[in-house]
Amino acid sequence: MGNRAKWEGWAWSFHQFGERLLRMAAAHLMWVACTLLGGIVFGIFPATAALHDVLSGKWNDRGLPSAFWHAFRHYFWRSQWLGAGTVLTGAILWVDVVFFLRMGSLLGLSIAAVFAGIGFLHAATTCHAFSLLVREDADVKRTLKQSFWLVAAFPLHSLVTLGGLLLLLILLLAIPVLPILLGASLPVWWMNARMSRLLEKRDRKRSTKQPRGETYAV
């Protein structure tokens, strides 16, 4: 009887895992469709916000296609501003790092290192921003402010998030079928999971007495 219950438990877990994978694959296909619908440039950011929305469990009893389309429209303009702003500032930081590295001097290397550090903060803030935008349903300014303070308060967590994201991207490149089935869903799933963990840490910090004047998130 005990072995039967164990096998039934494994079968149910496998069933749930398969169902989750199918849901992620379907969400990825909808991300591709909505990205193309917006001409890529105007579709990728709201499609990414919608993907965060449906993979975070905010289904609203609509079913996947309806929930995705609703989120795509709901976050359309805010995600455009958030995405365009982070891409532009990220490109500027990258150009600055390359420029000072090419100087070849100790001063140039030092300045490049400073910009690289700022680039890490920027990348970590960006990774958390879309998930936070969906969870908090806030405006772009408040989303970026909260995301930055969360990264500053928990730098090790942010380092693990970026490291895991890099490993996922390597995995996607190593297994050709994965980008077709789960190309966008896997990274978004990871960032949502890390955001849930980060918010748990923030809430625990808030529940304990903080030193006067110290702030972990705004």
Which position has the higher pLDDT, 56 or 164?
A: 164
Q: Of 174, 115, 167, 125, nearest to 150 (Cα)?
A: 125
Confidence at residue 71, expressed as pLDDT on a 0 to 100 scale: 93
Mean pLDDT of the region 64-71 = 90
Mean pLDDT of the region 193-209 = 84
H-state helical runs in the chain:
2-37, 44-55, 64-74, 76-103, 106-136, 140-153, 155-174, 177-182, 185-207
**Confidence label for 214 from pLDDT (cuts 50, 70 and 90):** very low
Q: Provide, rounded to the nearest whole percent, the portion of the chain with pLDDT above 90.
A: 65
The answer to whether residues 108 and 75 touch, using CB atoms and an 8 Å cutoff, is no
Confidence at residue 201, expressed as pLDDT on a 0 to 100 scale: 86
On the question of pLDDT at 132 being above 60, the answer is yes
Please give the Cα distance from 198 to 202 (Å, whole number): 6
Confidence at residue 213, expressed as pLDDT on a 0 to 100 scale: 47
The maximal CA–CA distance of the chain, rounded, in angstroms, is 73
Q: Whole-prediction pTM value?
A: 0.84
On the question of pLDDT at 6 being above 70, the answer is no
Confidence at residue 100, expressed as pLDDT on a 0 to 100 scale: 92
Confidence at residue 209, expressed as pLDDT on a 0 to 100 scale: 57
